[in-house]
């Protein structure tokens, strides 16, 4: 074996040692972190979120440690470096090894000199010295971890809800409160398909009625008593825990737990499975059928919070009159809905098969049933529609069918509204087809023409004649419509016809024309606007429309009169208004407002105040009082119950409960604080 | 608690006294629905007078152009700085009308631009609940004035509180009748006035 081959062999050994050292240090430090975290968690109890970070952190530390050790030993790959390392530790080599390696053709004497020296013992000692410290640390940490209770290791290895019971108690068994820690496992009823939930240290458990609630705590069940609504609840031993199982009641209740002098109250806040919501889509409204033949389409929409079981349509046929009526009922198209939360029901009612006669009434409704097998299936029904077959005697009676609401009265469209419509159309114009633009523009144009006719009627009416429309004028003029100029001329003619009183001249205009000029300008501008709108050019129509609006405003401002006489001075008799007056001829008695009733809200507020008074002296009693108040409030005042929950949790866990108590106090006192954080927007 | 007096603002320009029956009608409403100690007669206070500071709420209305004098502007600014509330109502019900244009210009010059008041504002639930915002008026529904049904009021808000409440709804016409005639109405249309007064006194 040449000198180089011997050095390569030493390098292989040292390289393996570097890798092993890296692994051992990685394991040692990673396990050390786990052990430290486990011990700390055992002593002080760490939150689940923190514990969940320990294992990834340990792996990260191990990876970093391994990388660092490998990086520091990276030069072990170099043969000359190994040779120098050997020369340093084996002086007998006397640089012959380095010389033999540097020379491509080493002399036989050099090879013999190197071969005479054995360095493997030195290499083995170095390897042993490098591996021993991390190996010792690994052994120590592993021993420590194995010495820890299994529950402590489990809490670090796989943190999960409810593992608070795995943490061994620090206090002596005789002094220990077995009601804390407390874990609740809530399993919803099977029909909901929901998952079980574990809650640690519950002060309130909210679950669907019928769900299974299991409460667990550390230690034996002996001496632990539980009551719910006055009835005892069985507490059993299970491995190293005590546990009790109850079904979530229909009404809110308080579960009282006692362990010697320790007591604890847990509020059970059930919520009920809601009934299916069914909406009948078809038939959309009640109707009358003179000839009851053919099939009537039925459609409905159903939804449920957990799942629908089945849905169908029901009908009832009532026949007869006077005091003799008969009824028939049936079901149409029952369908299994397969636990869906929403479903569409459809079917058809064959009127011919019902053999209806005049005077018969058919009532139809849709029905859906949920899968609640705990408190009974909830059945939701839609509103009922009726189909009536009229009697012959009713044919000539006034039977008015319900009609949809009419279109908006176009006569109420003002010039301002038309401008807004035209502006919107102009904005949308780039994204619209030309045909649609023309159609909508012409619609606006028709309304513009209607308004123009109205202006024309006003002008004629003010001239003293009977209201005369353009159409009437067209009939008189052989089919030609009045132009603005003709309107002006007609106005002048009417003025001259009226004759008397036209004495106040302004320029060349007669006074009536002058008074009506703004309206005539508006009329003229409306003509221009109509022309542009009719050819689908709302943008071109807008200036004329705005001119018309301005002219209308001028006319209105010019003629707005504020004639007012002297208003009476009104002095109120406040006592009379408040029905608190008195008569002089009767005995004097001052009416006092009645005292407010002792409402349940006030009682709750007083209970809340009394509980607050106890907080300083006896916090546990205060918490129990608040819990009892919350049980009552769950039914009668849900907002107060919701506000109490965070306050109770904060008090129980020793956190600052001030804010939560203030909020609850406001709710209890009926003080509603409006949030004024709605966005402000808009402008003039 | 001192007695509340409903004050009407008197200003140099325009017709400040265009709604003489509104104050007694509002006073009647306050007496009818609340236990607020209210003065049976309202007061007329000049915008330029230091007496303006004696009233927590001042009502201003009119049809004609509004131009504040320097003294009026200065006194009104101080009134608002000290927490007073000004309720302005356009008796024309016309956003193109001269009152609206000039009054808003003066308000912008005096205190700042009013902005749209959301219909969820506490003003609409300070006493009676108006979930849809300010109640409509006959003038709006009949298409008079600007032919618009104004969905919102406007306001200048300072530190979360309304300093100036501006209405284009013409409550001056809507509430301008003798309080004795209130008995002919199935629903009292002046209830919103209670909200304004209660808001001015409590917010």
**In this predicted structure, what is the pLDDT of residue A471?**
46
Tokens 């109120």 appear where?
A572
**In B, residues 38-67, which contact A (CB 8 Å cutoff)?**
38, 40-41, 63
Decide if B31 and A553 are in contact by the 8 Å CB cutoff.
Answer: no
For testing the chain A interface, which of B115, B119, B129, B198 should be mutated: the one with the most A CBs within 10 Å?
B115
**Alpha-carbon separation of residue A87 from A78, A572, B103 (angstroms):** 14, 119, 102
For testing the chain A interface, which of B18, B116, B163, B172 should be mutated: the one with the most A CBs within 10 Å?
B116
Q: Which residue has the higher pLDDT, A465 or A21?
A: A21
The span from the CA of A318 to the CA of A362, in Å, is 7
Closest to A519 (Cα-Cα) out of A471, A451, A577, A567: A451
Decide if B96 and A567 are in contact by the 8 Å CB cutoff.
Answer: no
On the question of pLDDT at A235 being above 50, the answer is yes
Which phi and psi angles does A227 have, rounded to 5°?
Answer: -135, 145
**Average pLDDT of span A218-224:** 86
**In this predicted structure, what is the pLDDT of residue B10?**
92
Contacts of A574 in chain B (CB under 8 A): 27, 31, 38, 40
**In this predicted structure, what is the pLDDT of residue A43?**
87
Q: Are A339 and A386 in contact (CB under 8 A)?
A: no
Decide if B31 and A416 are in contact by the 8 Å CB cutoff.
Answer: no
On the question of pLDDT at A103 being above 50, the answer is yes
Q: Which of B40, B63, B121 sits opposite A571 (nearest CB)?
A: B40
Q: Which residue has the higher pLDDT, A302 or A468?
A: A302
Strand partners, A199: A184
Question: Is A642 exposed, middle or buried (CB count within 10 Å of its CB: 0-12, 13-18, 19+)?
Answer: middle
On the question of pLDDT at A61 being above 90, the answer is yes
**In this predicted structure, what is the pLDDT of residue A492?**
54
- Minimal-distance CA residue of chain A relative to B94: A553
Q: Are A154 and A166 in contact (CB under 8 A)?
A: yes
Indicate the DSSP class of residue A509.
Answer: B
**In this predicted structure, what is the pLDDT of residue A58?**
94
**In this predicted structure, what is the pLDDT of residue B183?**
85
Lowest mean pLDDT among A244-253, A551-560, A619-628, A642-651: A551-560
Contacts of B92 in chain A (CB under 8 A): 560
On the question of pLDDT at A505 being above 50, the answer is no
Lowest mean pLDDT among A23-37, A170-184, A632-646: A170-184
- pLDDT over 90, % of chain A: 22
A331-371 pLDDT per residue, tens: 888 888 888 889 999 999 888 888 888 888 888 999 999 98
For β-strands A361-370 and A385-388, DSSP reports them as antiparallel
Residue A294 zone, left/alpha/beta (φ > 0; ψ -120 to 50; rest): left
Decide if A577 and B32 are in contact by the 8 Å CB cutoff.
Answer: yes
A596-639 pLDDT per residue, tens: 555 788 888 889 999 988 888 888 888 888 988 988 888 888 88
The torsion angle over the Cα atoms of residues A299, A305, A309 and A311, rounded to 10 degrees, is -20
Beta-carbon-side half-sphere exposure of residue A640 (alpha carbons within 13 Å): 27
Q: Long-range contacts of range A169-176, CB-CB < 8 Å, 24 or more positions apart?
A: A169/A218, A170/A42, A170/A43, A173/A219, A176/A218, A176/A219
Decide if A676 and B160 are in contact by the 8 Å CB cutoff.
Answer: yes
From the CA of A421, how many Å to the nearest CA of chain B?
Answer: 14
Written as six digits, the tokens of B159 are 């530190």
The torsion angle over the Cα atoms of residues A115, A117, A121 and A122, rounded to 10 degrees, is -120
Residue ranges of the alpha helices (H) in A585-637? Answer: 600-614, 619-636
**In this predicted structure, what is the pLDDT of residue B148?**
86
A658-667 pLDDT per residue, tens: 889 988 888 8
**In this predicted structure, what is the pLDDT of residue B6?**
95
Decide if A681 and B116 are in contact by the 8 Å CB cutoff.
Answer: yes
Residue ranges of the alpha helices (H) in A499-537? Answer: 511-534
Contacts of B178 in chain A (CB under 8 A): 568, 570
Residue ranges of the alpha helices (H) in B82-190? Answer: 98-110, 138-141, 171-174
From the CA of A463, how many Å to the nearest CA of chain B?
Answer: 23
Quick check: B125 contacting A, CB < 8 Å? yes
A100: pLDDT confidence band, cut at 50, 70 and 90? confident
Q: Which of A567, A574, A683 sits opposite B40 (nearest CB)?
A: A574
From the CA of B82, how many Å to the nearest CA of chain A?
Answer: 22
Written as six digits, the tokens of A245 are 């199982």
Angle (CA) B83-B85-B87 rounded to 5° is 170
For A50, the 3-state DSSP assignment is helix
Q: Which of B114, B122, B147 sits opposite A674 (nearest CB)?
A: B122
The span from the CA of A220 to the CA of A214, in Å, is 16
Domains of chain B by start residue, with CATH: 7-202 (3.40.50.12140)
Closest to A129 (Cα-Cα) out of A291, A217, A21: A21
- Minimal-distance CA residue of chain B relative to A572: B40
**Alpha-carbon separation of residue A94 from A1, A5, A83, A90, A118 (angstroms):** 19, 19, 12, 8, 13
What's the whole-number average pLDDT of chain A? 81
Greatest extent of chain B over all pairs of C-alpha atoms, in Å? 45
A506: pLDDT confidence band, cut at 50, 70 and 90? very low
**In this predicted structure, what is the pLDDT of residue A514?**
60
Angle (CA) A60-A64-A68 rounded to 5° is 170
Lowest mean pLDDT among A22-36, A393-407, A599-613: A393-407
Please confirm whether the linkage preceding A667 is cis (ω < 30° from 0). Answer: no
Q: How many CB pairs under 8 A join A and B?
A: 72
Q: What residues of chain B score a pLDDT lower than 50?
A: none
Q: Are B152 and B116 in contact (CB under 8 A)?
A: yes
Contacts for A193 with CB less than 8 Å, ≥ 6 apart: A306, A307, A339
**Alpha-carbon separation of residue A539 from A449, A616, B72 (angstroms):** 17, 75, 44
Q: Are B38 and B3 in contact (CB under 8 A)?
A: yes
Tokens 């509340």 appear where?
B4
Query: How far apart, in Å, do the first and last CA atoms of chain B sit?
Result: 16
Decide if A684 and B15 are in contact by the 8 Å CB cutoff.
Answer: no
**Average pLDDT of span A531-544:** 92
**Average pLDDT of span A544-552:** 88
- In order, the DSSP letters of A59-127 are HHHHHHHHHHHHHHTGGGG-HHHHHHHHHHH-GGGTTHHHHHHHSTT--HHHHHHHHT---HHHHHHHH
Give all strands of the β-sheet with A197-200 in edge-to-edge order.
A197-200, A182-187, A212-218, A241-247, A235-238
Greatest extent of chain A over all pairs of C-alpha atoms, in Å? 152
Q: Are B113 and B156 in contact (CB under 8 A)?
A: yes
- Minimal-distance CA residue of chain B relative to A550: B96
**Average pLDDT of span A225-247:** 88
Angle (CA) A338-A340-A341 rounded to 5° is 155
Decide if A680 and B118 are in contact by the 8 Å CB cutoff.
Answer: yes
- Angle between helical axes of B22-33 and B191-202 (0-180°, round to 10): 80
Query: How far apart, in Å, do the first and last CA atoms of chain A sit?
Result: 100
B76-108 pLDDT per residue, tens: 999 999 999 999 999 988 888 889 999 999 999
**In B, residues 147-176, which contact A (CB 8 Å cutoff)?**
147-148, 152, 154, 157, 160
On the question of pLDDT at A490 being above 90, the answer is no
Closest to A36 (Cα-Cα) out of A54, A18, A22, A56: A54
Written as six digits, the tokens of B3 are 């007695």
Quick check: A375 contacting B, CB < 8 Å? no
A370-387 pLDDT per residue, tens: 988 888 888 888 988 888
């Amino acid at each position: 074996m040449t000198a180089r081959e011997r050095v390569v062999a030493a390098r292989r050994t040292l390289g393996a040692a570097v890798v092993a050292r890296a692994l051992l240090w990685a394991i040692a430090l990673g396990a050390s972190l786990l052990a430290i975290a486990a011990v700390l968690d055992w002593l002080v109890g760490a939150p689940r979120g923190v514990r969940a970070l320990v294992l990834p952190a340990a792996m990260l530390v191990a990876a970093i440690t391994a990388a660092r050790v490998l990086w520091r030993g990276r030069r072990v790959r170099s043969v000359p470096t190994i040779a120098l390392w050997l020369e340093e530790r084996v002086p007998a080599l006397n640089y012959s090894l380095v010389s033999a390696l540097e020379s491509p053709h080493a002399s036989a004497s050099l090879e013999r000199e190197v071969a005479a020296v054995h360095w493997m013992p030195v290499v083995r000692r170095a390897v042993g010295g490098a591996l021993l410290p991390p190996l010792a640390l690994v052994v120590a940490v592993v021993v420590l971890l194995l010495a820890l209770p299994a529950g402590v290791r489990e809490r670090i290895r796989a943190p999960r809800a409810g593992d608070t019971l795995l943490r061994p108690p620090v206090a002596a068994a005789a002094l220990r409160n077995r009601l804390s820690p407390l874990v609740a496992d809530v399993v919803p009823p099977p029909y909901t398909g929901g998952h079980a939930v574990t809650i640690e240290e519950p002060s309130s458990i909210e679950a669907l009625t019928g769900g299974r609630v299991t409460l667990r705590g550390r230690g034996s069940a002996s001496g632990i008593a539980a009551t719910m609504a006055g009835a005892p609840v069985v507490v059993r031993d299970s491995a190293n825990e005590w546990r009790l199982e109850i079904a979530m009641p229909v009404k809110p209740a308080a579960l009282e737990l006692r362990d010697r002098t320790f007591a604890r109250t847990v509020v059970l806040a059930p919520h009920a499975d809601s009934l299916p919501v069914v909406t009948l889509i078809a038939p959309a409204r009640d109707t009358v059928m003179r000839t009851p033949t053919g099939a009537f389409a039925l459609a409905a929409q159903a939804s449920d919070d957990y799942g629908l079981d089945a849905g169908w349509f029901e009908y009832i046929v009532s026949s007869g009159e006077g005091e003799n009526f008969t009824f028939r009922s049936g079901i149409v198209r029952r369908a299994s809905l397969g636990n869906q939360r929403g479903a569409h029901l459809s079917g058809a009612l064959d009127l011919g098969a019902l053999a209806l006669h005049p005077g018969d009434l058919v009532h139809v409704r849709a029905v859906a049933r949920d899968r609640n097998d705990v408190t009974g299936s909830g059945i939701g029904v839609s509103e009922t529609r009726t189909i009536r077959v009229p009697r012959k005697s009713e044919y000539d009676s006034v039977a008015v069918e319900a009609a949809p609401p009419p279109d908006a009265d176009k006569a109420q469209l003002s010039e301002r509204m038309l401008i807004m419509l035209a502006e919107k159309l102009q904005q949308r114009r780039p994204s619209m087809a030309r045909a649609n633009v023309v159609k909508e523009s012409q619609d606006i144009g028709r309304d513009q023409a209607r308004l123009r006719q109205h202006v024309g009627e006003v002008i004629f009416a003010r001239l003293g004649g009977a209201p005369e429309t353009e159409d009437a004028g067209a009939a008189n003029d052989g089919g030609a419509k009045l132009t603005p100029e003709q309107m002006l001329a007609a106005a002048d003619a009417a003025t001259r016809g009226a004759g008397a009183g036209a004495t106040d001249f302004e320029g060349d205009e007669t006074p009536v024309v002058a008074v009506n000029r703004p309206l005539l300008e508006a009329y003229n501008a409306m003509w221009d606007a109509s022309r542009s709108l009719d050819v689908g050019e709302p943008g071109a129509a807008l200036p004329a429309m705005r001119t018309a609006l301005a002219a209308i405003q001028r006319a209105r401002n010019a003629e707005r009169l504020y004639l007012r006489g002297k208003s009476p001075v009104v002095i109120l008799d406040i006592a009379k208004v408040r029905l608190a007056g008195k008569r002089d001829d009767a005995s004097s008695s001052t009416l006092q407002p009645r005292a407010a009733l002792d409402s349940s809200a006030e009682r709750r507020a007083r209970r809340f105040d009394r509980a607050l008074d106890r907080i300083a002296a006896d916090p546990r009693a205060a918490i129990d009082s608040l819990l009892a108040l919350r049980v009552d409030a769950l039914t009668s005042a849900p907002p107060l119950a919701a506000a109490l929950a965070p306050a109770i949790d904060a008090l129980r866990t020793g956190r600052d409960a001030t804010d939560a108590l203030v909020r609850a106090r406001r709710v209890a006192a009926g003080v509603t604080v409006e949030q004024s954080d709605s966005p402000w927007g808009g402008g003039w | 608690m001192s007695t509340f007096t409903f004050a009407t603002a008197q200003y140099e320009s325009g017709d400040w006294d265009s709604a003489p029956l509104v104050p007694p009608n509002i006073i009647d409403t306050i007496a009818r629905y609340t236990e607020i100690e209210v003065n049976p007669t309202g007061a007329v206070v000049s915008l330029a007078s230091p007496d303006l500071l004696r009233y927590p709420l001042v009502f201003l209305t009119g049809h004609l152009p509004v131009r504040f004098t320097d003294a009026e502007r200065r006194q009104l600014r101080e009134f608002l700085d000290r927490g007073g509330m000004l309720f302005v109502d356009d008796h024309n019900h016309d956003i193109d009308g001269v009152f609206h244009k000039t009054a808003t210009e003066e308000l912008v010059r005096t205190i700042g631009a009013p902005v749209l008041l959301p219909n969820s504002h506490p003003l609409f639930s300070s006493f009676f609940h108006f979930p849809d915002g300010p109640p409509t008026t006959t003038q709006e529904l009949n298409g008079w004035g600007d032919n618009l049904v104004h969905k919102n009021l406007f306001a200048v808000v300072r530190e979360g509180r309304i300093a100036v409440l501006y209405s284009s709804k013409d409550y001056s016409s809507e509430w301008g009748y003798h309080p004795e005639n209130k008995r002919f109405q199935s629903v009292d249309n002046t209830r919103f006035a209670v909200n304004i007064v209660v808001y001015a006194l409590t917010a």
